Chains A and B, each alone.
Chain A
Amino acid sequence: MLISQIGYYSLVLGLIFSILIIPVSIKNLNNDIKFDSRIFSISFLQFIFVLISFLSLIFSFIYSDFSNETVYNNSHTSKPLFYKISGTWGNHEGSLLLWLLVLTLFIFLFLIQSKNQPKKYKILTLLFQQIIIIGFFLFVIKTSNPFNYLFPIPAEGLGLNPILQDPALAIHPPILYLGYVGSSIIFSSSLAAILANYINQSWAKSIKFWILVSWIFLTFGIMLGSIWAYYELGWGGFWFWDPVENISLMPWLSLTALLHCILVLEKKFSLGSWTIILSISTFILSMSGTFLVRSGILNSVHTFANDPERGLFILFFLFSLIFLSLIIFFGFYKEKQIPNQKFFLFSKETSIVVNNWFIMYFLSVILIGTVYPIFLDILSNDKISVGPPFYNKLILPFLILFLFFMTIGPSLNWIRSDFKKIKNKLLIYFIFSFLICLLIFYNISSLNLISSILLLSAAYLFYFTIMDFFKNKFTNISQSISHLGFSLLVISILLNSIFSNEVSMNLKLGEKFKFQNGVILFESLKKRQGSNYESLIGTFRIKDNKNKITILNPEIRIYDQPETITSEADIKTTLYSDKFIVMNLVSKDEYFNVRYQIKSFMIWIWISGILIAIGGMSTFLRRSYEK
């Protein structure tokens, strides 16, 4: 009880400090002296108070203080400690407090990191960031206070949705948030750069750090969500084109475009306005994602409560931010003309522009597919869903072109390239990849045209990047690793979709099921008591056509707080394929619904995702090398 009080009041104190920053920085902005170090201290205090508030919420969860409404709604004494802690951000109020925590942390880090930047730019960034921070403070305190007091104090809490009681999902939100919130720094800093007339190479250099940081976290965050969906939701897929997934993918795409375009600004001092547009839209996409998910318009595990007041608040906040950024962009942005700036068709700049076009296309396809059903529902009351065929059809053909440009682009020079010089190299590698693919096609009969060309273009990129990597040792290590990861991702997703197969059946204990590739025997069923659930563990003996035996033990967990059943898939992973089995109860019948899948090259999908992120991280390694 006391601890909730501490949490609440330190949150209010945090708000007071964050309002205090504004007059102090405006005063500092208008006089000529150096950067006021008081700003630094106040911003540190702001962070510390939010941290105290967040820690007290964690303590309330650990000690199961049910006088706190948030704890009561989302926790239970029987929950393991780890999930008590992760339950802190497994709900609406707590997750917003986490947003706020990261926001205040990042602005403090920004002040440290931008030590050598011009004062005006620094203070303006801080001011814009404070607008966002104060908005979130008000949102948390007014509509989603995590420290509401409950009386009489309930004896027991309602528990956390068991599907969220999972290690990958426990760390998924914080990591994703680090990415989302990082984009807010990019947003504020680009607005500040417009006003301070500071859009130039040194701005690009300093903001690249934040773009990379948010990009890396967002990549990992999306991947964790995907891994979780793979083993926990029981469908054995890793991407469903579900609106909630799309919403995290859109800022990622926009951030990826930004990551490439900032290079042009850094090296060539052009594409300034495009960079600004991308910075703004990345943040707007992150924010609208939060709005769509939190307001209950999209239904999913992520929707914690459908409170219209909250939705309206975010909507209002979002529109004010969009409005503000539009005013600043159109009212104050001055395009700088560099005399004698040369722009040639065959150059790295062009290839990056092309890259951005493609990414924008992918982004708009996903945006339309996600938003269209919502609008249609409001306008005509027709309920529709847009599924994978829509995305596959619109994205795959263009992915082929995209991959080809991705191969050619990096080998072009800045400013101007002689196409003849690299023509031979490109051609030789192409023929080589073509031969390799021919060899693969020869062994697969069930390949359609699009996927064969897609495989070819991905293999081309893969091969080209590897060769390039060894030739120009370490010159472009981060780009090579990420591009390699991307080509590997396309290849493994393709092979995965071609070779995977599955059967599902309903079995009683002791029954056998014969299918094309073998026999499944439901051997035994055991009961076990978990910490806060009871589980049924099945033993399945699977004999494939080569008489190889695999034993898998899928599990059904029956939680009582709240009363929910989850299935834990059992997965045997090898470099070639995953054997995936999951079982479900059907209507309390003696039959078990069993789904057995062989998912080819599954692990390579995760490996490629990690490679993509490692590429980004290696930039920091190289940076410290240079120093």
Chain B
Amino acid sequence: MYGKKIKLRAIFLILFLISIILSVFLVLKSLEENVVYFISPSEIKKLPTINDKKIRVGGMVKNKSISIKLDSVNFIITDFKNEINVVYSGAVPNLFAEGKGVVAEGFLKDRNYLNAIKILAKHDENYMPPEVKEAIGD
């Protein structure tokens, strides 16, 4: 009876270890693939290659750069050193306006164009994403 209990415990322990190793492996692998990096327009200019990974770009919406069409919104994100054109079709958050901070998520077409799939909302007038603050402050 007692021997059986020990055996069961051993089985549990082995299963437990295997599952831990497996899950750590899975998590790390998945992190590597699914993480979205945040970069500023200046950093984009310095990128050695353009790949098809999703990125986030943050900065200010340049003054008089927003142009609206029926199915898309185009604008320029600037960090006051470099800028990038954004093409976006979708819903924009309420506080999206010229001269305000913005974060756009999407794919780079080349070093000057971003196809955005999401524009991130801000919650109030005073709030600025810390990434944007840093991108502009640098």
Contact = CB atoms under 8 A, between A and B. Distances in A.
A233 B121 contact: yes
Contacts of A373: 35
B28 to A, nearest CB: 9
A385 B38 contact: yes
A341 B123 CA distance: 57
A372 B28 CA distance: 10
A394 interface: yes
A368 B124 CA distance: 29
Interface stretch (B44-52, B78-86, B94-102): B94-102
B130 interface: yes
A627 interface: no
A464 B67 CA distance: 56
A390 B54 CA distance: 13
Given A357-B16, A587-B97, A364 B23 contact: yes
A361 B96 contact: no
B66 interface: yes
B31 A506 contact: no
Contacts, number: 122
B36 interface: yes
Interface residues of B, number: 45
A14 B30 CA distance: 50
A505 B66 contact: no
Given A384-B35, A385-B36, A564-B124, A585 B94 contact: yes
Given A506-B69, A563-B125, A584 B31 contact: no
Secondary structure at the A interface, as helix, strand, loop or mixed, is mixed
A387 B123 contact: no
A613 B26 CA distance: 32
Interface in B93-121: 93-98, 121
B92 A584 contact: yes
Contacts of A382: 37
A539 interface: no
Given A361-B19, A505-B71, A390 B91 contact: no
Contact of A389 (B34, B91, B97): B34
A567 B92 CA distance: 11
Given A394-B27, A562-B125, A384 B96 contact: no
B10 interface: no
A501 interface: no
Given A384-B36, A390-B34, A511-B70, 14 more contacts: A163-B123, A234-B91, A365-B23, A383-B131, A385-B36, A389-B34, A390-B30, A505-B70, A582-B91, A586-B73, A587-B66, A589-B68, A593-B73, A595-B91
B91 A504 contact: yes
Nearest to B126: A562
Given A163-B123, A504-B90, A595-B90, A586 B68 contact: yes
B95 to A, nearest CB: 7
Task: Pick from B35, B69, B121 the residue with the most CB of A within 10 Å.
Answer: B35
A323 interface: no
A504 B89 CA distance: 7
B37 A384 contact: yes
Contacts of A594: 91
B35 A586 contact: no
Contacts of A342: 1, 5
Contact of B31 (A361, A372, A504): A372
Given A390-B31, A390-B35, A506 B95 contact: no
Contacts of B124: 161, 163, 562, 564
B96 A586 contact: yes
Interface string A227-246: 00000011100000000000
B137 to A, nearest CB: 13
Given A343-B8, A384-B35, A386-B36, A506 B73 contact: yes
A396 B16 CA distance: 20
23 contacts: A161-B123, A234-B91, A342-B5, A343-B5, A353-B12, A373-B35, A382-B37, A383-B134, A385-B36, A389-B34, A390-B30, A394-B30, A505-B70, A506-B68, A511-B70, A564-B124, A565-B95, A567-B94, A584-B91, A586-B66, A586-B68, A586-B92, A587-B96
